[in-house]
Structure 1
Amino acid sequence: MKVDSTTDPTTDLSTVQSSTVLSRPAALLCDMDGTLVDTEPAWSRAVGDVVRAHGLSWTVKDDLDIVGWPIPRLVQTVQERGVDLPAEEIVSRLHETLAAVIADHVPWRDGAVELIATARRAGVPVALVTATYAAGTTALRRDLAQRMAERDFDAVVTGDTVRQQKPHPESYQRAAGLLKVRPEDCIAIEDSATGIGAAIAAGAHTFGVQPNTQLPTGLANHPRLRRVTALSEVAAQFGAAPPGPPWAPPRPDR
């Protein structure tokens, strides 16, 4: 069943699937930027372009500081730097830059497509859970569908369809609800402290896929967090699956 975050998820626990074995999770909940795709440089470029276009300073350190931030926080930062534009205009410009950067080539991280394929072969649904607004996910979703016989993510939660952004757990709770599973029975993959905090707060078993990301002590030592160096380590959680990945290179008629 294909659902998206504009649908109010059913919360009747009698319909919720349960899985208490981490190696066979109820669902795979995936962050987008920096986790499945290497779009963080595009976001940094987008923010920097807007700020510098107004004659203001934006540094490499600023690029690093905003990794994983939700859209409202990016907008607030741009305005605090002195950019006199309404929030809606800033959001539009940021997404225009992101879409332009990845329109012709989606920068999948190594092992990302294979991870989704492995989960699918194991019968595990896959959700996209991102702070990026829906408009910024179009190229990724189209590319995935082309690789997987027109099958998109099984659920999608974007930053413009939740009331509270990461690190609040709402987006992960909503994704689990759309799939009718419990967050604590799911695996989440994240790259940033903001996203990891959201997934942990929702109750998910969380994989941090950027081992150099600095985390607060309480989060870094959390028993439901495992830090890995490659997405293939997450794929191993799904156990043996039948051979023959259900994906192929995207068709040339994009």
Structure 2
Amino acid sequence: MHALATQPLLKAALWDMDGTLVDTEPYWIAAERALVESHGGGWSHEQAMQLVGQSLMHSAGLLQSAGVNLAKREIVDTLSGHVIERLRVEVPWRPGAKELLDELYQRGVRCALVTMSEGPMAREVVANLPKPYFEFLVTGDIVNQGKPHPEAYLTAVERLGRTDPELTKDHCVALEDSVPGVAAAIASGVVTVGIPHQMPLPEDPCRTTWDTLQGRKVADLEALVAARAAGIVPAAALLGQAN
């Protein structure tokens, strides 16, 4: 176990955005409710929770079912515009997220943003960070299949590997808050940490669960990757499912 601790294999951290890096879900829910109500419908908390972590086009279809008489593209643009306006007033960072990002940056661990939000919104968030923490963004408008499909995470790993041929999914940790996001990360094969926020995550031995990123360090991520390398399944067996 001492050898694991002194030979970290972590090369990259893959970050979800909404609910993991920033607490934008209240912005999205407010935009959804306003849009549905403007079309004469009602939008419950339970309906809003069905959209958390889903691709925007999938969410647009559910909003059409709730009575929004617009094309999916128009729905996505309307919602995104509302959220971007709110982000320009305040970016609500999740506890511990910026601190962990900064330590990763200082330690030379590569980071990528893997989000179902589209490019303009993701760039709005990243522009509010004090340093160029993210090497690149994988956004919902550049993949064919949204979460819970693993395409976005597979794309991130492939892009990282272009400049480091030795990098594999086993060197990467995904940080996710939602059921679709966690499913996408696990399906891609990367080491996965769930940090539930708006919705609880069902128990799953294939991931580690942390209550928060507050107080988490690069060493915690290194330990999870080292556990994967040692064949410890789940990796959570090293640190405990929740702390």
What TM-score bracket applies, with the shorter chain setting the length? 0.7 to 0.9
User: Which residue of structure 1 lines up, in the alignment, with residue 3 of structure 2?
Assistant: none
SS in 2 for 1:100: helix
Number of equivalent positions: 212
- 5+ residue gaps in structure 1? 1-20, 240-254
1 CA distance for matches of 2:7 and 2:19?
23
Among 164, 170, 177, the residue aligned to 2:158: 177
In the alignment, what sits opposite 1:13? none
Deviations 1:134-159 (A, max 9, x none): 11112211111xx12xx251021000
Q: Which of 39, 52, 60 is equivalent to 1:67?
A: 52
Specify which structure has the bigger relative contact order, considering alpha-carbon pairs within 8 angstroms and separated by 6 or more residues: 1
Change (3 A) 1:211 1:141: closer
Gap change, CA 1:227 and 1:23, over 3 Å in 2? farther
CA distance in 1, matches of 2:169, 2:107: 18
Q: Distance in 2 between matches of 1:53 and 1:123?
A: 48
Change (3 A) 1:22 1:70: farther
**Alignment gaps of 5+ in structure 2:** 1-5, 162-166, 223-243
TM-score (norm 2): 0.81
For 1:162, the aligned partner's letter is V
Cα shift at 1:183: 2.0
Give the SS at the match of 1:159: coil
Q: 1:238 to 1:191 in 2, by over 3 A?
A: closer
The percent identity for this pair of structures is 36
Other structure's SS at 1:34 match: coil
Structure 2 residue corresponding to 1:77, chosen from 38, 42, 62: 62
Deviates more, 1:204-213 or 1:54-63: 204-213
CA deviation string 1:9-59 (max 9, x = no partner): xxxxxxxxxxxx995412000000000000011111111111111110111
- Asked if structure 2 preserves the Cα contact closer than 8 Å seen for 1:211 and 1:228, the reply is no
Report the residue type matching 2:155 in the other structure.
Answer: R
Cα distance in 2 for partners of 1:72, 1:54 equals 19
RMSD between aligned alpha carbons?
A: 2.1
- Moved segments of 4+, more than 6 Å: none
* Aligned amino acid, residue 148 of structure 2: P
Q: For the Cα contact (< 8 Å) 1:211–1:227, is it kept in 2?
A: no
TM-score between both structures, scaled by the size of structure 1:
0.78
Aligned to 1:195: 181
Question: Aligned residue for 2:102?
Answer: 117
Distance 1:23-1:98 versus aligned 2 partners, 3 A rule: farther
User: Shift of the alpha carbon at 1:237?
Assistant: 2.1
Q: Secondary structure at the match of 1:28?
A: strand
Deviation at 1:67, TM superposition (A): 1.6
Go from structure 1 to structure 2 and tell me whether the alpha carbon gap of 1:112 and 1:22 turns closer, same or farther (over 3 Å shift): farther
The alpha carbon displacement at 1:63 in A equals: 2.4
Match of 2:204 in 1: 221
Q: 1:54 aligns with which of 30, 39, 56?
A: 39
